[in-house]
Structures are given as C-alpha cells and as structure tokens.
Amino acid sequence: MARRNTYKEDEILEEPFDLRHLLRAWVYIKKHAGKMVLALVLSALGGAAALASPMIVQKALDEAIPSGNVHMLYGLVVAVSCFYILSVIFTTIRSHIMVNVSQDIIYQIRSDLFKHLQKLPFQYYDDRPQGKILVRVVNYVNSVSDMLSNGLINVVLEIINLVFIVVFMFAVDVSLSLVVLAGVPFLMAFMFWIKNKQRKAWQAVSNKNSNLNAYLQENIVGARITQIFAREDENAEIFKTLSGNCRKTWMTAVGYSTLVWPGIDTISVLVRAAIFLFGLFIFSHGSETLGTIVAISSYASRFWQPIMNLGNIFNGFINNMAYLERIFETMDEPVTVDDEPDAIEMPKVVGEVTFENVSFSYEKGKEILHNVSFSVKPGESVALVGPTGAGKSTIVSLISRFYNVDSGRILIDGQDISKVTLQSLRSQMGIMLQDSFIFSGTIEDNIRYGKLDATEVEIRRASKTVCAHSFIKGMQDGYRTEVKERGALLSQGQKQLISFARTLLSDPSILVLDEATSSIDVQTEKALQQGLDAMLTGRTSFIIAHRLSTITKCDKIMYINDGGITECGSHDELMAKKGDYYHLYTAQMEGLEVG
C-alpha cells in the first residue's frame, strides 16, 4: 500500500533495482517489439556509418595526401559525406519511430492507470494528497515511458556501439587501442562514485517536487479559503520553503551532473595525450603513421561517450524503477468496492430498502455504525437527523455501496446489493451532495452528465421543475454558457440547482439528498419545494437536512446517534415522544424566533 503522506513528508523513492517491475512492464513493450527492433537495426547501421569516417580520414592522411592523389581524395570526401548522410537518415527515422513508440506507451500506461483510479474507493482519495496522485499519472509515466522505449534500446545500442568502436579501433592499431583501454579502470571508479551521488540527488529532487505539487494543488483548490482567512503571507512562506527545498535539491543534483562530463573529458584527454606520446615515440622508429594516430585518437574520443551514456542510462533505470514501482503500486491498489465474480444485474428498482444488522467503520477499531437495522417501504421519504459525525452520510453512502459494510446486509427489493453490479445499482440511484460538483463545460453538458442521450426538451423540463431554468436563461449563452472548473463563476445555490436538474434528469428510483438545499436561499427553496415534491413522488428517498422545517412532511424521521438509530417515527410521533428529535427541533425553532 502506498505511503499515506502529506506535502510535509517525502514520498520515499529509494528503491533497489527490481527486475520484476521491468518484466511486468513487458506487457507494454511487447506490443511495439517489431518497431523497436527496426529502430535498433537503424541505430546500429547509423552508428556503423558514422564510425567509418576515422578510417577514411586515416586513408586520406596516409595515402591520398602524401601521394598527391587528388581523385582518391575527392572519392574519400564523397565517401565521408555519404556515410554521414546515411547516418543522419538512419538516426532520423529511428528517432521518429521511437517518438511514436514512446507516446503509445505513455498513452497505454496512463489509460490503464486512469481507468483503475476511477474504480478505487472513496477511502483511497480520502487518505492521499491529490497532488501526489497527479505526479504518478503525469510525471512518473512520462519518465518511465522513455525508459521503456528509448532506454532499453539505448542499452543495447550503446553496447553495440562500444563493440563497434573497439573493433574498428583494433582494426586500425592494436597497441594504441590497448593504451585507450588502460583508461577504463579509472573511468569506472569515477563513474561508480559519481553515479551513486547523482542517483540519490535526483531522487531527492523528485521527492521535493512531489511535495511542492501536492501543496500547490491543495492551495489552488482552496484559494477562496486562503483569501477569506487572509492566509496569503503564511501560505507564501510555506510555499517559499517547499520551493526552496526544490531549488536546493535541484542545485545539488545539477552540481553532481555537471561533474560527469568534465571528469570523463579529463580522463579522455589524458588517454588521448598518452596515445600521442606513445604513438609519437613508436612513430619515431617508423612503426606508426600520422593517420593511424589521428584515427585512434578519434576513436578514443568516441569510446568514452557510450560508456558515459550507459552510466546515465543505468542511473535513469534506478530512478525509473522507483517510479515504475509507484505506478504499479497504484495499479495494484485493491478495488475493495467492486462487482463480485457472480454479480447479477440489478432488476428495475421498486424502492424497498432494508438494513440488517449493519456495522461499518472507516478505520479499524472506530465503528461508525453498529448493528443498524431498519426497513423503508417503496416510495417512502426518510429523513436522517442527528449530531455531526453520527453516521447520517455514511448510511446513504452505504446504500449506494460506495463502501463495503463490515458486517450485516443491505437489501434493495430483497436483493443483497453486494451481489449486484455497481453500474446497474448506481444507475438507478440519484444522489445530491452538499458540495455540488460542476465540471468545466457548458451548463447543458453538466445537466446531461448522468444521461448522455437526453434531449434539449428533457433538459429544460428538468431545469424548470427545480427552478433552475430562469437563472440559466438569464446567462449570456443560456444553456450553452461555458462554466469554469468546479463552476467557479456560479454561486453555490446555482450549482445546487444545476445538480438538482442533473439528478432529476437521470430519473432515479431511489433518491438521496444530503444537505442538498443548504446553499439555496429560503425564497428559492420555497419555490423549489414544489419541484422537490415532484422529485420525491413515487421514489424512495433519503434526506439529510440541516433545516428541520424542510423534513416535517417526511414519512419517517430517524435520529442517528451513538452508532445507531435512537428514535424513529413521523414528525408528530417524535415530537409527542419529547426525546432527542423534539429537543433538536424546538431548539432550532427557538433559535429562528430569536433571530
């Protein structure tokens, strides 16, 4: 299970190289195996074409120029140009192929990840910063895709390139080639030291960027609250600290990275100096030619590049194995609320709802509901009241099966809802929450969200029923007015009315209203009441309302407290009983009179 941290805590990515993750990723790689093999062949041909140049230069220096053979020299120039053009063509085609492969892998991993995220239970999102989930879907997938495509090919390619260089080099001169290879132990020692430092430094960068992303996302969503409480300065200081941590770790990582090339270049220069010294010493005895020394020097210069590239690839593999592990960790997150293997389609719901000794807890040892039992007849309206945190919203969430019960059963029309498919169950339910979520797009698209085939006539009829039509028509483009993310330009009351229209349009058999009119003014609520009555008619409904005056006509009122139902009856029955509901109602009415 993923570590449940906040923006204050690093998401630890220090993972050993685990071949299992790479083998598991093969499912994404094998679809493009043919293209990747072709890219590898093109890369090898391009590399071989480029490596022919030093041998041609050697021939020019040792034969064409000393003998004054202009025709041979022209021929060698043409040959060098042709090999260079071939190298560019092969490399360009290879790059084009691998860009497509890389983007396809990104698309496939991200699609699988998003599909799984949509199935994960509410609990998963309750426990994790959204910013850190986004990092996995965007940043980690981008990074991993390059490793799975270019990374694997580059490992093989650089090894082949290295072999080609050594072969060409030894073909020119064995003794000077051994001088070049003498520098390898020094290079390996340097690379081992620097790469370990570099890997840890870049992992720290990932951790700090993840923290910053989590805090940034949280504050963008909560921008209004920040300004309401004048928290700009305090939040700016927190952001400054997190941003400073990013800068500090970045500078450290870049510091190590900038040491790589100078270190390798220093070893390369020393080796090439040894080539000239050794070659000139032998040359003085007539054993070596100038062309041989220049060719070996050129190959020596190229020799270090694939070694350095392999070091970079290895470093990337180590980092990306940690990212890949996090991606698969998310994909492996259990979908605790899912269809049973033998789940059936929920028949057309009539509306009888029964709880049989239902117990539930969000966290082990902290029970919210304990052995709750009740029965609601089809078409009945049931109000749930009680103190905050007593379990009212939990009950309606369980009816929709957003969570699994710890024990007991929930039946609809006598059918255990754990034995039916989620889609067939939830498609027959309408749920209105206090926080009415509005998607970016048009108002019409938002109302049609739960019924994509709805006509314009149906959309307007639903809007008129819930008193949303008048304010929608008054907007610049009416129903085609574009609304921003989360309905930023709409009032809370307007959002709730649009949500009412969306819920009514889906024509649910069971209706859940969780503080659904909390942001609507009293005058609008009175006008809406007729529409609400129309919504409730013929439907089993569960209503959670802060204003008790709105639920007095409900068929049944259940007072929820201490993990169960302490009182149940009609408004008149509970008032006559003079229990918890009576005291709550009278206190609220007295408060209104005083107000």
Is the per-residue pLDDT at 373 higher than 70?
yes
Yes or no: say if 218 and 130 are a contact pair by the CB < 8 Å rule: yes
pLDDT average, residue stretch 570-591: 88
The mean predicted confidence, pLDDT, of the chain is: 81
| Helix (H) or strand (E) run with residue 444 in it | helix 443-447
For residue 163, what pLDDT band results from cuts at 50, 70 and 90?
confident
Q: What is the DSSP string of 523-570?
A: HHHHHHHHHHHHHHTTSEEEEE-S-GGGSTT-SEEEEEETTEEEEEE-
Separation CA 223–CA 233 (nearest Å): 13
CB-based burial label for 163 (10 Å; 0-12, 13-18, 19+): exposed
pLDDT average, residue stretch 553-562: 90
Of 383-397, 466-480, 506-520, least confident by mean pLDDT is: 506-520
For residue 10, what pLDDT band results from cuts at 50, 70 and 90?
low
Tokens of 409: 């059963």
> What are the C-alpha distances in Å from 495 to residues 30, 147, 451?
47, 44, 18
Length of the chain: 595
pLDDT of residue 319: 67
Q: What's this model's pTM, rounded to 2 decimal places?
A: 0.62
pLDDT of residue 568: 93
Q: What digits encode the pLDDT tens for the residues 185-204?
A: 887 787 777 777 777 787 78
186: Cβ–Cβ under 8 A, 6 or more apart, which residues? Answer: 267
Separation CA 41–CA 347 (nearest Å): 58
More confident residue, 449 or 375: 375
CB-based burial label for 229 (10 Å; 0-12, 13-18, 19+): exposed
31: Cβ–Cβ under 8 A, 6 or more apart, which residues? Answer: 104, 108
Yes or no: say if 449 and 498 are a contact pair by the CB < 8 Å rule: no
The domain spans of the chain are 19-331, 345-427+545-595
More confident residue, 19 or 334: 334
May I ask the CATH class of domain 345-427+545-595?
alpha beta
pLDDT of residue 3: 43
What percent of the chain stands above pLDDT 90?
A: 14
Instruction: Name the residue type at position 266.
Output: T
Is the per-residue pLDDT at 356 higher than 90?
yes
371: Cβ–Cβ under 8 A, 6 or more apart, which residues? Answer: 357, 358, 359, 408, 564
Separation CA 277–CA 438 (nearest Å): 75
pLDDT of residue 1: 35
Same fold, 19-331 and 345-427+545-595: no
Tokens of 90: 């092969």
pLDDT average, residue stretch 107-121: 86
Among 182, 311, 191, 198, which Cα is nearest to 263's? 191
pLDDT average, residue stretch 172-190: 79
Among 562, 465, 542, 543, which Cα is nearest to 504's? 465
359: Cβ–Cβ under 8 A, 6 or more apart, which residues? Answer: 367, 369, 370, 371, 372, 405, 406, 407, 408
pLDDT of residue 565: 93
Separation CA 46–CA 186 (nearest Å): 29
pLDDT of residue 281: 66
More confident residue, 11 or 185: 185
Of 240-254, 409-423, 519-533, least confident by mean pLDDT is: 519-533
Instruction: Name the residue type at position 411.
Output: L
Of 222-226, 324-328, 477-481, 527-531, least confident by mean pLDDT is: 527-531
Separation CA 150–CA 144 (nearest Å): 10
Of 235-249, 278-292, 352-366, least confident by mean pLDDT is: 278-292
Is the per-residue pLDDT at 61 higher than 80?
no
Yes or no: say if 281 and 306 are a contact pair by the CB < 8 Å rule: no
Is the per-residue pLDDT at 32 higher than 70?
yes
Of 273-287, 420-434, 477-491, least confident by mean pLDDT is: 273-287
pLDDT of residue 280: 66
pLDDT of residue 2: 39
May I ask the CATH class of domain 19-331?
mainly alpha
